[in-house]
Amino acid sequence: MSELLTFDLAVRKPGFKLEAAAEVPLSGITALSGPSGSGKTTLLRALAGLEPSATGRINFAGENWSRMRPARRGVGYVFQDAKLFPHLNVAQNLAYGAIRRQASEELVEAVVRALDLRPLLARSPETLSGGETRRVALGRALASAPRILLMDEPLTGLDRARKLDLMPYIAHAVADFGVPAIYVTHSAAEISFLADRTLFIEDGQLTNWSGAAPRVVGRVVNAAPGQVNLEVGRFTVWVNGQGNVGELWAVPLGQDYLLSTQDPGHSTAALTLPGVVADADPGSGLCQMDIEGQRLALAWPRVDGRVPERGTPVWLSLPRLSARPIQAEDGPESR
Amino acid sequence: MSFSGPILLTLQLAGVTMVLLLLIGMPIAWWLAHTKSRLRPIVEAVTALPLVLPPTVLGFYLLILMSPNTPIGAFWVRLTGEQLTFSFSGLVVASLFYSLPFAVQPMQAAFQGVGRGMMEAAATLGASRWDQFRSVVLPLSRRGILAAAVLSFAHTVGEFGVVLMVGGNIPDRTRVISIEIYSAVETLDYQTAHILSGGLLVFSFVVLVLVYLLNQRGLRAGV
């Protein structure tokens, strides 16, 4: 059972009111999602202590943060527009928080390695591309040895290709450094790839929680530069990414997975996994399936209005594969 | 003929005024850059008053205020044994008022340009308020602070009316370059007036070129 970040906050600004209370597990990535102007950034800033008008209480793993200065909370805040210090080069930006929080040189070195920052160290922030700037901003936050990462739409403004490049870095940062994160976004793709759970906000009110997007979890059994070989039950598959043998990785199903009661045989899918229906609700169409030892709850495609009965063999096909490392405690309960 | 007395006195006055104005003007500029107080327009107007007020008016009121008959003037006499008017110290006090906007306004603009975001970033990285100011705000405002220093120095070098009202024309005590030029012209010593005026002209031109260069680089660097 992970520790909790508990808050009950109110922020009042002209024409806007935020009232939010929740208990957030301090593990993995918690996405905070909602439409523009719903209060996502305000809530994140209030948690960091950057909203002077915020009232209420914040408790971080038993520590009272309600009146604590931002500098003492130990958050790593990744701003939407990075806010790198323009008078310092990349190495000095990384060192800024590391020195003040007395982070070890090993940590800074690990951050530089994990985010591929070495070639950028002597550069000035002005000379960095959009993607490089975001990587340095994430690195600066991580190098300060934070107790929690608060990320405010860190990929906003980047094109799709850059986002796909950067999402694994974020996943690695959280998994490798064991730092829980709250990740503000309104991108379904980012939630699907990164989030272990999602907290929704609308008009300054938290509306509901959802768990991680459907995914299967595999263990790395082989690693090559830029690729890892994942073992999912009896199957192994290569996916892009940098990892180490023994790590747990999640393969989000995304929006375009296929379910079938017939063996698709040699299809063009990147991965096909067999399973069996463990439970089915004809009313909602929701099926509980045991797929290679993992329990998945998926909506059965309502083509003819019927759902398969309990015990029916099923096949789950994924046309494309992307995967990210996860912390061990975020893995499936069956493990 | 020796110009060293007035020149040294002027440089001494401008140097002391510049240092004191940076120290006094910085907190005022910081407050003006960030406050939401209703008093802000009033404080802004007071600091900018020397820009529009005739120096003789400012000098007249300072002369009254610093005379030994007032509490401030009497206190100064008790403290130092000499009166504030017609003294070098009196000139410094007058110069502080006279050049205040030239120190405050560039620093205020520089502080506003840094914005709160950079300080927030520093705060989340563990920097205390003073540390944020020292390690982020000061370096990012360095051009504005340098402009404030150069302008307040140069403006003090060029002051005349206030100096004449408060300090009079006492050699080696209050006779600065501008007063020396005035005295030279009155006695038809045009050679002295030419040399000192030409020197001030070149000095002022170089200072302004320097300030505009700083501004240009600041714009290019986006700070």
Report if residue A265 sits inside a domain: yes
Q: What span, in angstroms and rounded, lies between the C-alpha atoms of A322 and A22?
A: 31
**Based on the domain organization, do A173 and A71 belong to the same domain?**
yes
- Residue B8: strand pairing partners: none
Torsion of CA B43, B47, B49, B54, to 10 degrees: 150
**Based on the domain organization, do A196 and A219 belong to the same domain?**
no
Instruction: State which of A210, A233, A258 marks the end of a domain.
Output: A210
**Based on the domain organization, do A46 and A194 belong to the same domain?**
yes
Using the beta-carbon criterion (under 8 Å), do A50 and B123 form an inter-chain contact? yes
* A100 vs B117, B125, B221: nearest CB: B125
Half-sphere exposure of B79 (CA within 13 A, CB side): 10
* B125 vs A50, A86, A97: nearest CB: A97
Q: Which residues of chain A does B125 touch, with a Cβ-Cβ cutoff of 8 Å? A: 71, 96-97, 100-101, 140-141, 144
**Based on the domain organization, do A159 and A24 belong to the same domain?**
yes
- Are B110 and B143 contacting, i.e. CB atoms less than 8 angstroms apart? yes
**Based on the domain organization, do A83 and A202 belong to the same domain?**
yes
**Based on the domain organization, do A199 and A220 belong to the same domain?**
no
B interface with A, Cβ–Cβ < 8 A, is 117-118, 120-128, 131, 135-136, 139-140, 221-223
**Based on the domain organization, do A152 and A134 belong to the same domain?**
yes
- Are A51 and A27 contacting, i.e. CB atoms less than 8 angstroms apart? no
Report if residue A255 sits inside a domain: yes
Taking the Cβ of residue A127 and every Cβ of chain B, the question of whether any pair is shorter than 8 Å is answered with no
Q: What span, in angstroms and rounded, lies between the C-alpha atoms of A317 and A267?
A: 9
**Phi and psi at residue B86, to the nearest 5°:** 60, 35
**Based on the domain organization, do A206 and A245 belong to the same domain?**
no
Using the beta-carbon criterion (under 8 Å), do A50 and B120 form an inter-chain contact? yes
Report if residue A335 sits inside a domain: no
Q: What span, in angstroms and rounded, lies between the C-alpha atoms of A247 and B132?
A: 40
Q: Which domains does chain B have, with CATH numbers?
A: 4-221 (1.10.3720.10)
Instruction: State which of A170, A189, A210 marks the end of a domain.
Output: A210
Taking the Cβ of residue A81 and every Cβ of chain B, the question of whether any pair is shorter than 8 Å is answered with yes
**Based on the domain organization, do A162 and A261 belong to the same domain?**
no
Report if residue A188 sits inside a domain: yes
pLDDT (tens, 9 = 90+) of chain A, 335 residues, equals 568 999 999 999 888 999 999 999 998 899 999 998 899 999 999 999 999 889 999 999 999 999 899 999 999 999 999 999 999 999 999 999 999 999 999 999 999 988 889 999 999 999 999 889 999 999 999 999 999 999 999 998 888 888 888 888 888 888 888 899 999 998 888 888 888 899 999 999 998 888 777 889 999 999 998 899 999 989 999 998 888 898 889 998 877 888 888 888 877 888 999 999 988 888 778 888 899 888 888 888 766 667 888 899 999 999 888 888 886 554 443 32
pLDDT (tens, 9 = 90+) of chain B, 223 residues, equals 567 788 888 888 889 999 999 999 999 999 999 898 899 999 999 999 888 988 889 889 988 888 888 888 888 888 888 888 888 888 899 999 999 999 999 999 999 999 889 999 999 999 999 999 999 999 999 889 988 998 898 889 888 888 888 888 787 787 888 888 888 898 898 988 898 899 889 988 888 888 788 777 655 444 3
- Are A197 and A25 contacting, i.e. CB atoms less than 8 angstroms apart? yes
Tell me, what CATH number does A162's domain have? 3.40.50.300
Total tally of structural domains belonging to chain A: 2
Q: A288: which residues sit within 8 A by CB, 6+ positions away?
A: A277, A278, A279, A280, A295, A296, A297
**Based on the domain organization, do A38 and A166 belong to the same domain?**
yes
Length of chain B: 223
3-class DSSP state for residue A157?
coil
* Predicted complex: ipTM over 0.90: no
What is the token pair recorded at B188? 């038809």
Using the beta-carbon criterion (under 8 Å), do B124 and A50 form an inter-chain contact? yes
Find the domain containing A65 and state its range.
4-210
Place of tokens 């070129």: B209
Using CA atoms, how far residue B163 sits from B13, B160, B169, in Å, is 11, 5, 9
From first CA to last CA, the distance across chain A in angstroms is 15
**Based on the domain organization, do A308 and A176 belong to the same domain?**
no
Report if residue A139 sits inside a domain: yes
* A83 vs B117, B126, B128: nearest CB: B117
Instruction: State which of A150, A182, A210 marks the end of a domain.
Output: A210
**Based on the domain organization, do A191 and A260 belong to the same domain?**
no
